[in-house]
Chain A
Amino acid sequence: MSAFRLTGLCSCRGVSLKVIESSCNLSRNRRGCLQRPLLNGTRLFSSHSLNSKVPRVPTWEQIPEEQLPPPAVVPADLVDKLERLALVDFRTKEGLACLEKAIRFADQLHLVDTSGVEPMDSVLEDRALYLRNDTETEGDSAEELLKLAKNTVEEYFVAPPGNIPLPKREERTAMLKHSEF
Chain B
Amino acid sequence: MASCVANELLHKIKQLSILLPINVCLRRRCSTSSKQRDSQRHLTTKSSSEKLVGVVGLEIHAQISSNSKLFSGSPVCFSAPPNSQVSFFDASLPGTLPVLNRRCVEAAVMTGLALNCTINKKSLFDRKHYFYADLPAGYQITQQRRPVAVDGVLTYSFLGGKKRSQVVRKHVQIKQIQLEQDSGKSLHDDVHSQTLIDLNRAGVGLMELVMEPDMSCGEEAAAAVRELQLILQALGTCQGNMSEGQLRVDANVSVHRPGEPLGVRTEVKNINSIRYLARAIDYEIQRQIGVMQRGGTVHNETRAYDSKSGETIPMRDKEGLQDYRFMPEPNLPPLIVFEDNATLPPGVDSSQVVVVQKIKEGLPELPSVKREHLVQAYGILPEHSFTLVNEEGLMEYFEEVMKATRKEPRKVIGWVMNELLGQLKQQDMSVSQSPISPAALAELLELQETGRVSSSGAKQVFQVMWGSSGKTAEQVIQEQDLGLVSDATQLHNICQKVVDSHPTEVHAIRNGNAKVLNKLMGLVQRELRGKADPVLVMEILKQKTRGGGC
Partner-B contacts on A (CB < 8 A): 81, 84-85, 87, 121-122, 124-142, 145-146, 148, 151, 153-163, 165
Contacts and interface: CB of A to CB of B under 8 A. Distances in A.
B354 A158 contact: no
A127 B74 CA distance: 25
Interface string B80-101: 0111111110110100000111
Nearest to B323: A85
A84 to B, nearest CB: 8
B186 interface: yes
B67 interface: yes
Nearest to A137: B73
B67 A145 contact: no
A177 to B, nearest CB: 24
A138 B105 contact: no
A125 B335 CA distance: 10
Given A133-B351, A141-B87, A158-B194, A122 B102 contact: no
Given A139-B87, A155-B82, A162-B188, A130 B100 contact: yes
Name the residue in B86, B325, B328 with the highest tally of chain A Cβ atoms < 10 Å from its Cβ. B86
Contacts of B282: none
Contacts of A156: 82-83, 187, 196-198
Interface in B177-209: 186-190, 193-199
B101 A134 contact: yes
A124 B68 CA distance: 26
Among A139, A161, A165, the one with the most B-chain Cβ atoms within 10 Å of its Cβ is A139
B100 A136 contact: no
10 contacts: A84-B319, A132-B99, A132-B100, A134-B102, A138-B74, A138-B88, A146-B83, A155-B82, A156-B197, A158-B195
Contacts of A126: 333
Interface string B318-329: 010001010010
B78 to A, nearest CB: 15
Nearest to A134: B103
Contacts of B325: 85
A124 B334 CA distance: 9
A128 B84 contact: no
Interface residues of B, number: 57
Interface string B153-172: 00000000000000000000
B156 to A, nearest CB: 30
B124 interface: yes
B102 A133 contact: yes
Given A126-B333, A136-B73, A145-B88, 10 more contacts: A81-B323, A128-B336, A131-B352, A134-B101, A138-B87, A145-B83, A158-B196, A159-B196, A159-B197, A162-B188
A85 B129 contact: yes
A131 B100 contact: yes
Nearest to A126: B333
B436 to A, nearest CB: 41
Nearest to B76: A136
B521 interface: no
A143 to B, nearest CB: 9
Nearest to B199: A157
B100 A128 contact: no
A145 B102 CA distance: 27
Contacts of A146: 83
B333 A124 contact: yes
A114 to B, nearest CB: 17
Contacts of B103: 133-134
B83 A136 contact: no
Contacts of B66: 134
B390 to A, nearest CB: 31
